[in-house]
Amino acid sequence: MNQTAIARSWVEHANGHRDFPLQNLPLGIFSRPGQAPRCGVAIGDAILDLEAALAAGVFEGAAKAAVEATRGGALNAFFALGRPARVALRERLQVLLGEHSEHRAVLQAALHSAGECTLHLPARVGDYTDFYVGIEHARNVGKLFRPDNPLLPNYKHVPIAYHGRASTLRPSGTDVRRPKGQKLPAGQTEPSFGPCARLDYELELGIWIGQGNDMGQPIAIGDAAEHVAGFCLLNDWSARDIQAWEYQPLGPFLSKSFITSVSPWVVTAEALEPFRCAQPARPEGDPQPLSYLLDNRDQAAGAFDIELEVLLLTERMRDEGLPAHRLTLSNTRSMYWTVAQMVAHHSVNGCQLQAGDLFGSGTLSGAVPGSFGSLLEITEGGKQPVQLASGEVRTFLEDGDEIILRARCVRDGVASIGFGECRGTVVGAN
């Protein structure tokens, strides 16, 4: 067994931690009361202040340069350094936080309880692109509107995406204000304006871009994985009634741009290496990807085995002390296109990607009930309400409802790691 897989930390609560053992070490931006945001590393239920550790003199060489690039309250400069910097920092942190560390005493002062800290967006996001690579979601939604032809002809040829709104990306825990907009209610011929009545969540994987490319220079599929810095959870909140009226012919606009929630910790590509897997074989009859999207190494190990979960907690459930209701349990293996294919396609026309850009995978649903990544699918467009232990029912989200996204990687012989949570509570429209 790989010794890293069984390594322990002197931070006792990190050992066996559901999300943040020594084998994970995700990076994020945090602040303590009265202090400016700075970079930290999640270890168990604590955060290691990297600037404080740097001041203590425990870094040198490439690892020191990596920490210096995290200064300023955003990880963009660190992302731009690429994989060598991430590896150097990760290897040094595993030594510093390992159970035999010689620096435990000095690092203890740089360790803070996560519950006493505020978490922020990890990077300044210049651009946000939302893909549609969850084929089961595409099928499920397609069946609602086109029962005889759920997938459009281009789906299996092109990693479909649209350009989202970066200005309303927000970290986990930010309230979700119910949006207003134009709608065309069933049976009416003229649109009306008012609060969204069909508010939904979408379970997605977020992808943080590391090193970018020059404008006009596509990223080759064989190199694309090297341009990914890490991953997070992403909730692409969706106003379904606004979306239904506005999306033709140019796709989502105000139905998506009111808020997108992002989990605050960046799980690095290196931490996910043990959970890589082969891209599921395309069914017989599906077209082979065009050459710019096809790489043998990517097909052999470009997918990830990440379990995804969605929970719903209503206001009444909180008041009555009831546990959250699981809505969804799915997996990233439902992605029809790999992350590398997404990067290669996004840049093939010469589009410039930059460090800190964020991709959403699109909703990641499974093929069977219990694995659907949105209420639109679960309730069949509102026809089949969800029954809750509190006696309540839901077709779409109501004010006071909280959605909780979680993700976990589990494999025999390897320490399990998680992403933390991505939370958002719906509040009434202005």
120 is catalytic: no
> What is the SS3 assignment for 293?
helix
DSSP string, 47-76: EEEHHHHHHTT---HHHHHHHHTTTTS-SH
Report the distance separating Cα 316 and Cα 5, nearest Å.
42
Task: Report which secondary-structure segment, H or E, holds 77.
Answer: helix 76-81
Angle at 264 between CA 259 and CA 265, to 5 degrees: 145
What are 83's two structure tokens?
Answer: 């994989």
Do 422 and 263 meet the contact criterion of CB atoms below 8 Å apart? yes
Active-site residue, selected from the candidate residues 17, 137, 227, 346:
137
Chain-centroid distance, C-alpha 222: 23
366: phi > 0 → left, psi -120 to 50 → alpha, else beta; which? beta
- Residues β-bridged to residue 409: 417
Side-chain half-sphere CA neighbours of 27 within 13 A: 29
What are 93's two structure tokens?
Answer: 């942190």
Do 353 and 212 meet the contact criterion of CB atoms below 8 Å apart? yes
Residues labelled as active-site residues? 137
